[in-house]
Amino acid sequence: MKNLIFTLIILVTAVGCSNEPSSNQPIGEKVLLISFDGFRYDYLSKTDTPNFDKLVETGVISKGLIPIFPSKTFPNHYAIATGLYPENNGFISNSMYDPEMDAIFSMRDREAVENPDWYQGEPIWNTVEKQGKKAGTMFWVGSEAPIQDMHPTHWKVYDQSMGDSARIDTVVKWMSYDDPKQVDFATLYFHFVDSQGHRYGTDSPEVVEAIERADDLMGYLIQRMEEHGLIDHTNLLVVSDHGMANVSRERIVVLDDMIDPNDIEIIEYSPSLMANVKNGDPAAIYNALKEKEENFKVYLKENIPERYHLKNHPRVPDLLMVADIGYTINTQEFFDAREDYPSGAAHGFDNREKEMHAIFIGSGPAFRSGYRMKAFENVHLYELMADLMNITPAPTDGTIDSVSVMLK
């Protein structure tokens, strides 16, 4: 009898002290970051969204997610990934010129997108991998480049034609406990809400259909996660990079009415137009624009407002013009060549404008239930994700204190 008891004690102790849990058992909580590009903060009110509503009922929604300026796709996705403002992570817009590299970045230039020299700061997937965990990125700005000579365990080259359900199935597989390379952190990205907003405007039936499609995808994602035993052990962060504002031909700013467009080299276009001066004195061009400043604001680089967190980077050019909400800046030649331009909706406006605010929903074991919180800046999301995964963050411009109120 004594021998039997002793044997049982040894077995129980061995099981309790084992450092090798079975492969199908949860190991801590995971984080899944999901972006619906161009999903404005108020889009859930435009139609029935039962799957989003369930997440909101059991989790957290904010009154908005405030983008960094400029409120464009690449800068904001990279700000979310690094927790840094543009002047600290180098991503000042979708298009930019680096005088030290003497090179131009365009988001459609595959070579530039995959060049790590354009990316500064430490993205969250690198932080994850450096601390003994694994990450998988399904289309996220920066994840295709070997930043700090690293890639996530799993990553994909951006392919817009890849089906929505295929994206979800792939990420769920990466996260699954029966996968030998299961990840602790993953991303998902969908572009179609942004595309329909640009083309048809924020109040169009096409945007409503896109919102409903996004809701269906959330339902499918939750179903697949439930099937793989992930839903109770994963914190979901549903975000967008920016909102949208309607534009029209009736609201335009023509550069030719103020300056000779040939005197400047436009690097990034409206509504946050960035340009270097080719001919003449930057101060003279600035003064000519300033004299007729209507429906836009103009700044020399050194006078860009501090709240934009932009000017202290060598990639920022001589001039910045910021269109008032709903207005478009361009040359007469550009307008004349496109009778229907501008139309639909656009983003890139001042990030204080409510129309530029994005969506944030947090749901999972770490989040409070049914909590509503004020709008907050997206640079705090990196710190939030690091906290959720119990990893040490790299230096950022965000703080966990700014968002910890949403956690249990």
Tell me which of 300, 324, 343 is where a domain ends: 343
Contacts of 45 (CB under 8 A, 6+ apart): none
Do 235 and 138 belong together in one domain? Answer: yes
Structure pTM? 0.92
Do 261 and 223 belong together in one domain? Answer: no
pLDDT of residue 180: 85
Asked if 389 and 365 count as a contact pair (C-beta separation under 8 A), the reply is no
- For 314, the token pair is 């060598």
What is the gyration radius of the CA atoms in the chain, in angstroms?
A: 24
Asked if 398 and 405 count as a contact pair (C-beta separation under 8 A), the reply is no
pLDDT of residue 12: 37
Is residue 386 in a domain?
yes
Do 129 and 44 belong together in one domain? Answer: yes
Diameter over CA atoms, the chain: 100
Q: Which stretches of 243-339 are assigned E, i.e. beta strand?
A: 245-246, 252-254, 264-268, 272-277, 296-300, 319-323, 328-330
Residues of the chain with pLDDT under 70: 1-28
What DSSP letter does each residue of 95-153 carry, written as one string?
EEEETTTTEEEETT-HHHHT-GGG--S--HHHHHHHTT--EEESS-TTTTS-GGG---S
Which domain, by its residues, includes 333? 252-343
Do 86 and 146 belong together in one domain? Answer: yes
CA atoms within 13 A on the CB side of 178: 5
pLDDT of residue 178: 84
CA end-to-end span of the chain: 48
Do 166 and 100 belong together in one domain? Answer: yes
Do 261 and 375 belong together in one domain? Answer: no
Query: Can you tell me whether residue 155 is helix, strand or coil?
Result: strand
Query: Can you tell me whether residue 303 is helix, strand or coil?
Result: helix
pLDDT of residue 28: 60
Contacts of 178 (CB under 8 A, 6+ apart): 23, 24
Rounded to whole angstroms, how far apart are CA atoms 214 and 273? 31
Catalytic residue positions, numbered: 73
Is residue 121 in a domain?
yes
- For 64, the token pair is 């908005």
Do 358 and 315 belong together in one domain? Answer: no
Q: Residue 292 sits in a domain of what CATH number?
A: 3.30.1360.180
Q: Residue 123 sits in a domain of what CATH number?
A: 3.40.720.10
**Model confidence over 106-158: pLDDT tens digits?**
999 999 999 999 999 999 999 999 999 999 999 999 999 999 999 999 999 99
Do 73 and 188 belong together in one domain? Answer: yes
**Model confidence over 386-405: pLDDT tens digits?**
999 999 999 999 999 999 99
